């Protein structure tokens, strides 16, 4: 816990099926209801039972952007967790475990061992996950949460399961709480209280809510980690919000259903990960050709191929840039955190509707499945909605041209169902009236005119979108550049660097297409030294940056082991690069084996 800021992290480790999610959720909500910031990351595996699951929950009275660098409390639900992680614990930290089943591992001096006689405390309950509730009782005592707060949370969590379940859990929690009071030493630093209760969400939920706020009426998906959270939120809220949710047979169907729904006028969206996105790509090109606005989300996981389904990476940038054959108009944006994921969806829908083109969101597992707190007052569920130019004229003259050549390149849409504006849209090249010209020998001038018409739509779109800007100190010794989900970890790394006397600032990139080359060139050229940070091996964003700007970057920090950056990874790498040791750092993920 650093000075002035309450900063506490706890981790729960066990096998899949041991029920880590429920106590994790109960804990996180107790803290956010108290007004504390929470950031949680669950390192999990693509299995339903077994393996190793490790949930880290960080709590603070200040805004936090990552799951942090170190742990203060470790809850071991199995021996494996003890063996892998006990060595990470420092003096003053504590380890909670079931002494009937688990023996303590190696650890530093001064670590408080909180061994629990689970069998005795559980009153010989047959409930296999009752040890988790007992642990909750212990954790709340150790961090300084009153028991009635936990009891209320248990009621909220298990309310639907009936009184018996609530009573059993309350009794187990109380047993744990009292045992801890009698046997263990609570943390001396009191648990602060924030000014108001905070909300809790994942990035996937944020994107789904952003869609709902934007007026999405059609959502389709094929389940794929780590994007399935969007589908779950949409499915749960569909009836209440009047959203048509369809689970399709594959991602090709998903994308094409979206196109069909969007063409008749619904705001339509879908989300997947890289493998599913690969199947959607031809359709994205067809949306551009038919000039149908729709939003496609790619939540990246580590690839290629099936890759590492439950791990994070920023490895799909070129896939997204190259999605679909041909030269065409589309927008690509990489949100930086959950709140940005929420806000970007309505903004992107407006731009897509105005310019009649597909929009792509490139997120990743870290922010999409990561859990964080949000200030409910920051959530604008009534964003501006601009559908672009849509004809509603009911006195048509029969001269409607769907792809009318205009100065802006934008041709007003008429939606199917409107009398007198009947037309055909085609994935083949077509003329202003939609009639195919694709391979007529006499039509090269028409083809050129249509290519240029579509291109004009987004020629100056960068001017309508907020350009990237430097954050932090001017005149910094080093400028750290990142895109998308590295926003938070770079921000915290810069704070830590300042404590070490290194003045660094931050150039975060959100918009990939359009790319604000002029502004980025100006910032990078005036920086003393630049380091580009990416969660991939080959420096995908670096290649894109060079292709758009011709710029060179002084140093690189890359991580491609499946786990996200932690702030100290970046701090250590920046320090070694400033010391002249290297210009290419690959931080090592600390896991005890």
Partner 1 sequence: MDGINTRKLVFEPQKANDFKGKVDPDWCAGCGDFGVLNSLRKTCLDLGLKPHEILTVSGIGCSSNFPGFFNSYGMHTLHGRALAVATGAKMANHELNVFVTGGDGDGYGIGGNHFTHTARRNVDLTYIVMDNEIYGLTTGQLSPTSSLNMKTKSSPHGSVEFPFNPITSAIMNGATFVARGFSSDTKHLSMLMKQAIQHKGFSLISIFSPCITFNHDNDVAFFKPRIKKLEDGHHDTGDWKSACEKAMLWGDTIYTGLFHHVKDRPALHEAEPILEKGGGISSRSLGLNDEQANRIINRMM
Binding-site member from 148, 182, 249, 327 for partner 1 (CB under 8 A)? 249
- Residues 112-131 binding partner 1 (CB under 8 A) are none
Q: How many CA atoms are closer than 13 Å to the CA of 571, on its beta-carbon side?
A: 18
Measured between alpha carbons, how far is 80 from 86 in angstroms, rounded to an integer? 10
Q: Is 330 in the site for partner 1 (CB under 8 A)?
A: no
Tell me whether residue 162 or residue 417 sits nearer to partner 1 (CB atom): 417
| Residue 532 β-bridge partners | 481, 556
We find the least distance from the C-beta atom of residue 310 to partner 1, in angstroms, to be: 24
Q: Is 215 in the site for partner 1 (CB under 8 A)?
A: yes
Residue range at the interface with partner 1 (CB under 8 A); choices 92-100, 242-250, 463-471, 549-557: 242-250
Cβ atoms within 10 Å of 128's Cβ, excluding its own: 10
Tell me whether residue 411 or residue 496 sits nearer to partner 1 (CB atom): 411
- The site map against partner 1 for 452-481 (x = CB under 8 A) is ------------------------------
Tell me whether residue 191 or residue 209 sits nearer to partner 1 (CB atom): 209
Measured between alpha carbons, how far is 340 from 319 in angstroms, rounded to an integer? 22
Cβ atoms within 10 Å of 171's Cβ, excluding its own: 18
Binding-site member from 18, 60, 140, 220 for partner 1 (CB under 8 A)? 220
We find the least distance from the C-beta atom of residue 507 to partner 1, in angstroms, to be: 31
Tell me whether residue 41 or residue 218 sits nearer to partner 1 (CB atom): 218
- Report how many residues bind partner 1 under the rule CB under 8 A: 81
Cβ atoms within 10 Å of 515's Cβ, excluding its own: 19
Q: Is 263 in the site for partner 1 (CB under 8 A)?
A: yes
Residue range at the interface with partner 1 (CB under 8 A); choices 63-71, 100-108, 199-207, 531-539: 199-207
Binding-site member from 47, 113, 241, 521 for partner 1 (CB under 8 A)? 241
We find the least distance from the C-beta atom of residue 247 to partner 1, in angstroms, to be: 10
| Token pair 């001064």 in the structure block, residue | 110
Q: Is 395 in the site for partner 1 (CB under 8 A)?
A: no
What value, to the nearest 5°, has the Cα angle with vertex 193 and ends 187 and 199?
A: 115
Q: Is 451 in the site for partner 1 (CB under 8 A)?
A: no
Tell me whether residue 75 or residue 352 sits nearer to partner 1 (CB atom): 352
Tell me whether residue 106 or residue 448 sits nearer to partner 1 (CB atom): 448
Q: Which residues lie closer than 8 Å to 4 by C-beta, 6 or more apart?
A: none
Q: Which of these, 256, 507, 210, lies nearest to 348 by C-alpha position?
A: 210
Cβ atoms within 10 Å of 90's Cβ, excluding its own: 13
| Token pair 């359009």 in the structure block, residue | 514
We find the least distance from the C-beta atom of residue 420 to partner 1, in angstroms, to be: 6
Tell me whether residue 379 or residue 498 sits nearer to partner 1 (CB atom): 379
- The site map against partner 1 for 414-433 (x = CB under 8 A) is -xxxxxxxxxxxxxx--xxx
Q: Is 351 in the site for partner 1 (CB under 8 A)?
A: no
Residue range at the interface with partner 1 (CB under 8 A); choices 103-111, 144-152, 186-194, 282-290: 282-290
| Residue 247 β-bridge partners | 221
Angle of helix 21-33 relative to helix 130-143, nearest 10 degrees, comes to 30
Tell me whether residue 251 or residue 313 sits nearer to partner 1 (CB atom): 251
- Element (DSSP H or E) covering residue 240: helix 228-241
Q: Is 434 in the site for partner 1 (CB under 8 A)?
A: yes
Residue range at the interface with partner 1 (CB under 8 A); choices 299-307, 410-418, 479-487, 547-555: 410-418
Q: Is 372 in the site for partner 1 (CB under 8 A)?
A: no
Tell me whether residue 427 or residue 519 sits nearer to partner 1 (CB atom): 427
We find the least distance from the C-beta atom of residue 421 to partner 1, in angstroms, to be: 7
Q: Is 343 in the site for partner 1 (CB under 8 A)?
A: no
Q: Is 279 in the site for partner 1 (CB under 8 A)?
A: no
Q: Which of these, 359, 304, 343, lies nearest to 540 by C-alpha position?
A: 304
- The site map against partner 1 for 154-193 (x = CB under 8 A) is ----------------------------------------
Residue 74 Cα distances to 44, 51, 91, angstroms: 16, 18, 13
Compute φ and ψ for 435, nearest 5 degrees: -75, 135
What value, to the nearest 5°, has the Cα angle with vertex 53 and ends 370 and 134?
A: 100
Q: Is 290 in the site for partner 1 (CB under 8 A)?
A: yes
Q: Give CA torsion, residues 361, 208, 29, 132, to 10 deg.
A: -90
Measured between alpha carbons, how far is 429 from 535 in angstroms, rounded to an integer? 39
Q: Is 52 in the site for partner 1 (CB under 8 A)?
A: no
- Provide the pairing of β-strand 471-472 with 504-509: antiparallel
Q: Is 35 in the site for partner 1 (CB under 8 A)?
A: no
Q: Is 342 in the site for partner 1 (CB under 8 A)?
A: no
Q: Which of these, 192, 362, 344, 351, lies nearest to 277 by C-alpha position?
A: 362
Q: Is 250 in the site for partner 1 (CB under 8 A)?
A: yes
Q: Which residues lie closer than 8 Å to 297 by C-beta, 6 or more apart?
A: 207, 227, 230, 269, 270, 271, 272, 360, 361, 363
Q: Is 539 in the site for partner 1 (CB under 8 A)?
A: no
Q: Is 405 in the site for partner 1 (CB under 8 A)?
A: no
Residue range at the interface with partner 1 (CB under 8 A); choices 9-17, 169-177, 206-214, 491-499: 206-214
- Provide the pairing of β-strand 371-374 with 199-202: antiparallel
Q: Is 357 in the site for partner 1 (CB under 8 A)?
A: no
Q: Is 238 in the site for partner 1 (CB under 8 A)?
A: yes
Tell me whether residue 290 or residue 366 sits nearer to partner 1 (CB atom): 290
Q: Which of these, 61, 62, 58, 63, lies nearest to 40 by C-alpha position?
A: 58
Instruction: Report the largest interatomic distance among the alpha carbons of the chain, rounded to a whole angstrom.
Output: 91
Q: Supply the Cα-derived Rg of the chain in whole angstroms.
A: 26
Measured between alpha carbons, how far is 536 from 317 in angstroms, rounded to an integer? 10
């Amino acid at each position: 816990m650093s000075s002035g800021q309450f900063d506490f992290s706890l981790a729960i480790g066990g096998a899949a099926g041991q029920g880590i999610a429920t106590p994790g959720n109960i804990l996180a909500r107790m803290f956010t209801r108290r007004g504390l910031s929470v950031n949680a990351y669950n390192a999990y595996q693509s299995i339903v039972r077994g393996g190793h699951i490790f949930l880290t929950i960080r709590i603070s009275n200040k805004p936090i952007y990552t799951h942090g660098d170190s742990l203060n409390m470790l809850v071991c639900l199995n021996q494996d967790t003890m063996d892998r992680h006990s060595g990470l614990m420092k003096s003053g930290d504590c380890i909670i475990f079931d002494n009937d089943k688990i023996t303590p591992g190696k650890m530093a001096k001064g670590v408080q061992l909180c061994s629990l006689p689970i069998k005795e405390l559980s009153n010989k309950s047959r409930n296999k996950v009752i040890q988790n509730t007992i642990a909750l009782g212990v954790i709340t005592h150790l961090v300084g949460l009153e028991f009635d707060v936990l009891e209320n949370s248990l009621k909220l969590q298990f309310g639907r399961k009936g009184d018996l379940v609530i009573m059993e859990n309350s009794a187990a929690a109380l047993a744990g709480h009292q045992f801890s009071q009698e046997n263990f030493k609570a943390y001396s630093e009191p648990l602060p209280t924030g000014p108001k209760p905070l909300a809790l969400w994942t990035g996937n939920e944020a994107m789904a809510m952003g869609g709902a706020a934007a007026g999405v009426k059609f959502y389709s998906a094929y389940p794929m980690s780590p994007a399935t959270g969007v589908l779950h939120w949409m499915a749960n809220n569909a009836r209440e919000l009047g959203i048509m949710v369809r689970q399709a047979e594959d991602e090709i169907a998903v994308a094409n259903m979206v196109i069909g729904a969007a063409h008749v006028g619904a705001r339509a969206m879908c989300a997947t990960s890289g493998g599913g996105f690969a199947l959607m790509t031809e359709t994205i090109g067809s949306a551009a050709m038919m000039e149908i606005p729709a939003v496609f989300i790619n939540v990246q996981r580590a690839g290629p191929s099936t890759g590492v389904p439950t791990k994070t990476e920023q490895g799909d940038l070129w896939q997204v840039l190259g999605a679909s054959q041909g030269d065409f108009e589309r927008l690509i944006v990489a949100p930086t955190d959950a709140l940005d994921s929420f806000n970007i969806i309505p903004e992107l829908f407006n731009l897509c509707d105005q310019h009649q083109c597909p929009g792509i969101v490139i997120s990743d597992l870290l922010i999409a499945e990561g859990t964080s707190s949000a200030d409910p007052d920051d959530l604008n569920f009534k964003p501006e909605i601009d559908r672009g130019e849509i004809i509603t004229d009911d006195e048509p003259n029969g001269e409607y041209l769907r792809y009318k050549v205009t100065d802006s390149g934008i041709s007003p849409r008429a939606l199917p169902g409107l009398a007198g504006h009947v037309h055909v849209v085609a994935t083949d090249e077509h003329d202003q009236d939609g009639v195919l010209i694709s391979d007529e020998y006499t039509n090269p001038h028409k083809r050129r005119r249509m290519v240029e018409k579509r291109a004009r739509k987004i020629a100056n779109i960068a001017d309508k979108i907020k350009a990237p800007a430097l954050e932090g100190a001017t005149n910094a010794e080093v400028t750290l550049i990142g895109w998308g989900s590295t926003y938070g970890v770079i921000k915290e790394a810069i704070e830590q660097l300042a404590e070490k006397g290194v003045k660094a600032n931050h150039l975060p990139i959100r918009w990939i297409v359009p790319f604000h080359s002029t502004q980025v060139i100006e910032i990078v050229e005036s920086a003393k030294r630049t380091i580009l940070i990416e969660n991939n091996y080959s420096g995908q964003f670096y290649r894109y940056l060079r292709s758009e700007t011709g710029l060179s970057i002084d140093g690189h920090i890359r991580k491609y082991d499946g786990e996200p950056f932690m702030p100290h990874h970046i701090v250590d790498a920046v320090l070694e690069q400033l010391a002249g040791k290297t210009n290419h750092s690959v931080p090592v993920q600390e896991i005890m084996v």
